[in-house]
Amino acid sequence: MGIGAYLALASVLFGIGAVGFLTRRNMLIQLMSIELMLNSANVLLLAFNRAYPGNHDGQVFAFFVIAVAAAEAAVGLAIVIAYYRVRKTIETDRATLLRY
């Protein structure tokens, strides 16, 4: 399988994540869409690492992207929980203020 197939897969995953983030109003769905976009970047980084096996920069960057995604998920979920406790909803249309 060539790098073009990985590029196509990463593009489709990133497109699905971008459309999901821009069209949905649920904060949890938006967080999952961001995770999908980060994972598509990981697919692309690892595909380039497979194309150039002597250089391990793709694996190193993918590791850092995974670490950032884990931190983003933890902080994002904490914000969603705090927002839900205040407003009793997780729709982003109503998220103009985080406190009364």
Which helix (H) or strand (E) segment holds residue 6: the answer is: helix 3-23
Q: Dump pLDDT digits (tens) for 48-97.
A: 888 888 888 888 989 999 999 999 899 989 988 988 888 888 888 777 76
What's the pLDDT at 10? Answer: 94
State the pTM of this model: 0.83
What's the pLDDT at 99? Answer: 56
The CATH number of the structural domain formed by 3-94 is: 1.10.287.3510
Q: Dump pLDDT digits (tens) for 36-58.
A: 999 999 999 999 888 888 888 88
What's the pLDDT at 95? Answer: 73
What's the pLDDT at 53? Answer: 84
What's the pLDDT at 51? Answer: 85
Tell me which of 31 and 96 has the higher pLDDT. Answer: 31
CA 18 – CA 36 distance, rounded (Å)? 9
